[in-house]
Amino acid sequence: MATKTLFLSDSSQITTVSPIPNITGVSFFSHLHPPTRQHYSKWTVTLTSSFANPPSLSTDVITITDATTSDGLPHPDPVFVLYATLSWYFHLNTPTNPPLTLGASRNEWAVIIDRSGLFAREEALAAAEQAGLILLFESATPDGGLVPKALKRAFWQISYPFMKMPSPVVYTISPPAVRHPIRPRPARNLYRRHVPALNAILTFRLAKLEDAPLVNKWMNTPRVAAFWNEAGPVTKTAEFLRKNLEMRHSFPVIGSWEDEPFGYFEVYWVKEDILGRYCEAQEWERGLHVLVGEERFRGSQRVAGWLGGLCHYIFCDDPRTQRISLEPRVDNEKFIQYLQKEGFAKEKEITFPHKQSALMRLTREAWDGPSV
């Protein structure tokens, strides 16, 4: 048996004990409080598959049973239990079976949720469907009814356990005569996710004026200064941050690995941004500016982690956002390659007054989830 840990939040940890080397069979799940090791609940997951080395793309079945609280009562929240279970499942290695024939169609990665155990009751199944964790598909056999499945692509678009409702649609007009929805202010703490591939917690938070010395250090490194043109004294950086914090369509972000800051980012609404004057912009399209300041947090694996995390945050922040855009300088070839690996595609080049940019775009439909 092998033990794995997945952190959902500062106060929420999932520990699994699963068979090895093959994960089919029974796995035992515990939900506990990391600092105190106090147990909240436990449950059992049985994974069955028609393939010898799961996960498979579309034949796996998950059955959840014996879900109880620490005092032995039935678990009151089947949605959380399923979310935690799917977090474990979709962090497994990407299926490699069956072998693909060149040019053949390929199924989406999906797992069937058994209608016994925790989901024997229609109320539990309906709650999971309403939360977006499962979708109902017609059975391949006659009179087979509806089959509940969880899709990887859909799972990563679920904001649970963050649960943020989109803002109401009320329009305003900003200079120069841009009609757009009124944008809500960002939260202080934007995102937190355990990245098992790096065994590290990735967080994004709203930047503060107190971050000026840190951002100034990054802006004055030759590598960053060549692209951002913001080198100078700390007073210049403080003014730069102040202006960005006052913007309504954009906000500055600090990214951290294990609470150690590594980069500065800007998340913005494309329609009101200068980019919106050079291309067609959707109502809820978001854009990104990125800067990795700490040398030891550079590299392809780290980029995959934080870039996937930013896309994950944006797509979960508002379900109406269907596209993310970046406009890196055309000579930033290495970063453009990173974007393409994440699923971004080059739409065209844009001639700004200050740079020649490649317009890189990622659609929600094309996004397969963050790197795990």
Query: Within a 10 A sphere around the Cβ of 361, how many other Cβ atoms?
Result: 21
Q: What pLDDT, on the 0 to 100 scale, is given for residue 128?
A: 95
The answer on pLDDT for 98 being more than 70 is no
Residue 97 banded pLDDT, cuts 50, 70, 90? low
Residue 140 banded pLDDT, cuts 50, 70, 90? confident
Residues 258-294: pLDDT tens digits? 999 999 999 999 999 999 999 999 999 999 999 999 9
| Catalytic one of 272, 285, 327, 342 | 327
φ/ψ (deg, to 5) at 182: -65, 130
Q: Please give the distance of CA 261 from its chain centroid, rounded to a whole number.
A: 19
Q: By percentage, how much of the chain surpasses pLDDT 90?
A: 79
327 flagged as catalytic = yes
Q: Which residue has the higher pLDDT, 96 or 363?
A: 363
For residues 355 and 176, what is the distance between their CA atoms, to the nearest angstrom? 22
Q: What pLDDT, on the 0 to 100 scale, is given for residue 161?
A: 61
> Can you tell me which residue has the tokens 């199944």?
125
The answer on pLDDT for 102 being more than 80 is no
Q: Are strands 61-69 and 110-113 parallel, antiparallel or unpaired?
A: parallel
* pLDDT, mean of residues 216-227: 97
Does the global pTM surpass 0.85? yes
Domains and CATH numbers, the chain: 2-155 (3.40.630), 171-363 (3.40.630.30)
* pLDDT, mean of residues 172-180: 93
The answer on pLDDT for 2 being more than 90 is no
For residues 233 and 104, what is the distance between their CA atoms, to the nearest angstrom? 58
Q: What pLDDT, on the 0 to 100 scale, is given for residue 163?
A: 59
For residues 346 and 361, what is the distance between their CA atoms, to the nearest angstrom? 6
Residue 99 banded pLDDT, cuts 50, 70, 90? low
Residue 165 banded pLDDT, cuts 50, 70, 90? confident
* pLDDT, mean of residues 363-368: 95
Helix (H, G, I), strand (E, B), or coil: what is residue 192? strand
Residues 37-52: pLDDT tens digits? 889 999 999 999 988 8
